[in-house]
Amino acid sequence: MEEFRDKEREVAEEGKTLKELLSKGAIEILKDRCRTLIDKDPDYLEPYLILHEIYEIEGDLKSADEILTRAFERAMNLIAPEGKLPDRLPWSHEPNRHIINTLISTGVFYWELGEIDRSLEILSKVYRMNPSDEPGVRYYILAILEGMSLQEFEQVFMKEGEPDREDLERWFAKHAPGHPDYFQTQDV
């Protein structure tokens, strides 16, 4: 069983401060810092995700799509340089998280755009590579299969900006058995 483990990245510590700047609204400074980090290490993907979020906030969906596409392509080149995905991409290995977050963000973005098949394809791959599913990809997959939009999902399950895990678990246990092609009995 092949497991991908990304290397520790020197810029990762600096990257952790980016979210703080976003919450403070320092957008132009943040854009510059993100670009600088991308120049330092183009394979550290967190700055791409921050820029994607900024472009979405600004309503620039074209730039949001372009930067996320770049991040997704880099993520795929990291984990599948010859086109074959690893069997495992564990969240428990912290240096993998920027990659997993990129894959999830890409799947969610396509869901938001209504590109359901593309979204399901990406999110299902993440779920298969990380079956312990600490980030909760299974909830997104089930919501899509149940016909929910991203907006509906967030209205129902987000409380104060965070997912309500208890509600999600109850909902998942009730509805996942209806989708055996995606979820095994042990998942429910």
The 10s digit of each residue's pLDDT in 137-169 is 999 999 999 999 999 999 999 988 888 899 999
Q: What ranges do the domains of the chain cover?
A: 1-118, 136-188
For residue 184, the model assigns a pLDDT of: 77
How far, in Å, CA of 46 to CA of 98, rounded?
6
Q: What fold characterizes domain 1-118?
A: 1.25.40
Tokens 């392509």, residue? 73
pTM score above 0.85: yes
Residue 135 has pLDDT above 70, yes or no: yes
Contact, 11 vs 44, CB < 8 A? yes
Lowest mean pLDDT among 19-23, 32-36, 55-59, 131-135: 19-23
DSSP 8-state assignment for residue 87: S
Measure Cα distances from 67 to 19, 42, 163 in Å: 17, 12, 26
